[in-house]
């Protein structure tokens, strides 16, 4: 029997089905996702919580931060900053930062490392009290304590890890990274497989973009990542649809009948795997979503923190959600118009009830 040609409908269903897996435990969900992007804005919750609530049983806003110290996961850099299973750190560490520290910075880092090794997990305020290194201009043009930049740099270089957060502030401990024995080429191939698995099916151009972003998590593997990308583009399963080459992992079939969408509404985080790649989003759903939290209010089209609205396998609009005096207050926008069938109305109501349950604990804190 001839294989059906892959269509955009197949790719849409595949994209939704493979990432909206049956809800599981928190560590298992992070392992299956491979990486969860973090963002500090809460509107109505942080992006990592909004991502995990669809994939973790009975997940509540803030569960990741509350449970983090007891889980085998780490805050670290990959294609951007977020949370990932601890075993993936060996793919990137020891990390060689592009910016080389001068002698003064190296001495200060050594002193801070010795302090944290002696005193245990330390809040930046405690480190600041011991080491007054002055102030420096931060990446947003403001002023912040130089110790904060030093701690960030030590964390990025793998000298420190985040032990926990206190009121959202990172508390640092000394890090130890085991060498898993893989060659640089093998680590690069594993990193490429990690991001492919998270964001597939994806346009070939997006895979190239992701490999470029991996220069943040593993700058020392640039040549090996480029070689892994060339191999992947030549060897992965693929299809060209409307002039765009799409790729996905070995062993998967976008045409599978198992990808039939559920009659559910989902309000997605701006950085959810379904949403993250704006090129893929526009190709699959026919409109351009934009994250507008940093856009001046008069120029916003969708809203401060618009959550894309997924109905079955179609992203048909967006919602802005707030909580006022314990009551969920949503507002909706649609690319065309709200679906007329009663199934949508019931599914939307169920999603809002799930959102209320998800936010209830955070609203009390």
pLDDT of the residue at 129: 87
Using the predicted structure, report yes or no on whether residue 139 has a pLDDT greater than 80.
Answer: no
Give the C-alpha distances (Å, rounded to integers) separating 88 from 21, 58, 155, 177, 268.
21, 26, 16, 10, 26
Residues 6+ apart with CB under 8 A from 38: 46, 47, 48, 75, 81, 82, 83
pLDDT of the residue at 136: 58
Question: How far is residue 123's CA from residue 172's CA, in Å, rounded to a whole number?
Answer: 7
pLDDT digits (tens, 9 = 90+) for 127-136: 988 887 665 5
Using the predicted structure, report yes or no on whether residue 2 has a pLDDT greater than 60.
Answer: no
Pick the CATH number of 103-174 from 3.30.565, 3.40.390, 1.10.860, 1.10.10: 1.10.10
pLDDT of the residue at 362: 58
Average pLDDT, the chain: 93
Residue 283, both tokens:
């190709």
As a whole number of angstroms, the longest Cα–Cα distance in the chain is 73
pLDDT digits (tens, 9 = 90+) for 79-99: 999 999 999 999 999 999 999
Confidence of residue 178 (pLDDT cuts 50, 70, 90): confident
- Across residues 223-246, what is the average pLDDT? 98
pLDDT of the residue at 140: 41
Question: If you write DSSP's letter for every residue of 260-324 in order, what string do you get?
Answer: PPPS-EEEPPTTSTTTS-HHHHHHHHSS-----TTS-GGG-SS-TT-EEEEETTEEEEEEEEEEE
pLDDT of the residue at 137: 57
Using the predicted structure, report yes or no on whether residue 200 has a pLDDT greater than 50.
Answer: yes
Residue 312, both tokens:
């079955």
pLDDT digits (tens, 9 = 90+) for 308-317: 999 999 999 9
pLDDT digits (tens, 9 = 90+) for 34-88: 999 999 999 999 999 999 999 999 999 999 999 999 999 999 999 999 999 999 9
pLDDT digits (tens, 9 = 90+) for 263-305: 999 999 999 999 999 999 999 999 999 999 999 999 999 999 9
What is the CB neighbour count within 10 angstroms for residue 152? 17
Question: How far is residue 172's CA from residue 147's CA, in Å, rounded to a whole number?
Answer: 12
pLDDT digits (tens, 9 = 90+) for 342-361: 899 999 999 999 999 999 86
Question: How far is residue 284's CA from residue 254's CA, in Å, rounded to a whole number?
Answer: 13
- Asked if 272 and 37 touch (Cβ cutoff 8 Å), the reply is no
Give the chain's end-to-end CA distance (angstroms, integer). Answer: 59
The domain segmentation of the chain, as residue ranges, is 103-174, 261-364
Confidence of residue 144 (pLDDT cuts 50, 70, 90): low
Q: How many percent of the chain have pLDDT more than 90?
A: 88
- Across residues 203-232, what is the average pLDDT? 98
């Amino acid at each position: 029997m001839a294989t059906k040609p892959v269509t955009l409908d197949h790719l849409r269903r595949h994209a939704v089905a493979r990432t909206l897996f049956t809800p599981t435990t928190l560590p298992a969900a992070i392992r299956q996702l491979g990486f969860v992007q973090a963002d500090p804005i809460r509107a109505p919750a942080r992006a990592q919580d909004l991502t995990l609530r669809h994939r973790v049983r009975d997940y509540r806003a803030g569960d990741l931060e509350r449970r983090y110290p007891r889980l085998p996961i780490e805050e670290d850099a990959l294609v951007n900053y977020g949370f990932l299973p601890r075993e993936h750190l060996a793919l990137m560490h020891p990390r060689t930062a592009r910016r080389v520290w001068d002698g003064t910075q190296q001495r200060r880092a050594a002193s801070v490392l010795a302090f944290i090794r002696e005193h245990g997990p330390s809040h930046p305020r405690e480190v600041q009290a011991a080491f007054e290194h002055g102030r420096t201009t931060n990446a947003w043009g403001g002023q912040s304590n130089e110790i904060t930049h030093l701690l960030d740099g030590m964390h990025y270089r793998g000298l420190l890890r985040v032990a926990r957060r206190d009121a959202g502030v990172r508390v640092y401990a000394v890090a130890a990274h085991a060498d898993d024995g893989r060659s640089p080429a093998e680590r690069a191939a594993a990193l490429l497989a990690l991001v492919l698995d998270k964001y597939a099916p994806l346009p070939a151009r997006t895979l190239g973009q992701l490999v470029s972003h991996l220069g943040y998590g593993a700058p020392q593997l640039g040549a090996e990542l480029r070689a892994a990308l060339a191999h992947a583009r030549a060897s992965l399963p693929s299809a060209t649809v409307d002039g765009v080459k799409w790729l996905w992992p070995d062993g998967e079939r976008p045409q599978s009948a198992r990808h039939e969408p559920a009659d559910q509404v989902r309000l997605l985080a701006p950085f959810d795997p379904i949403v993250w790649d704006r090129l893929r989003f526009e190709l699959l759903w026919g409109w351009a979503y934009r994250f507008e939290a940093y856009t001046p209010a008069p120029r916003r089209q969708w809203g401060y923190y618009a959550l894309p609205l997924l109905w079955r396998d179609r992203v048909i609009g967006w919602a802005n959600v707030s909580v006022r005096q314990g009551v969920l207050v949503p507002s909706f926008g649609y690319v065309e118009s709200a679906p007329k069938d009663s199934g949508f109305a019931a599914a939307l109501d169920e999603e809002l009830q799930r959102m209320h349950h998800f936010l209830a604990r955070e609203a009390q804190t």
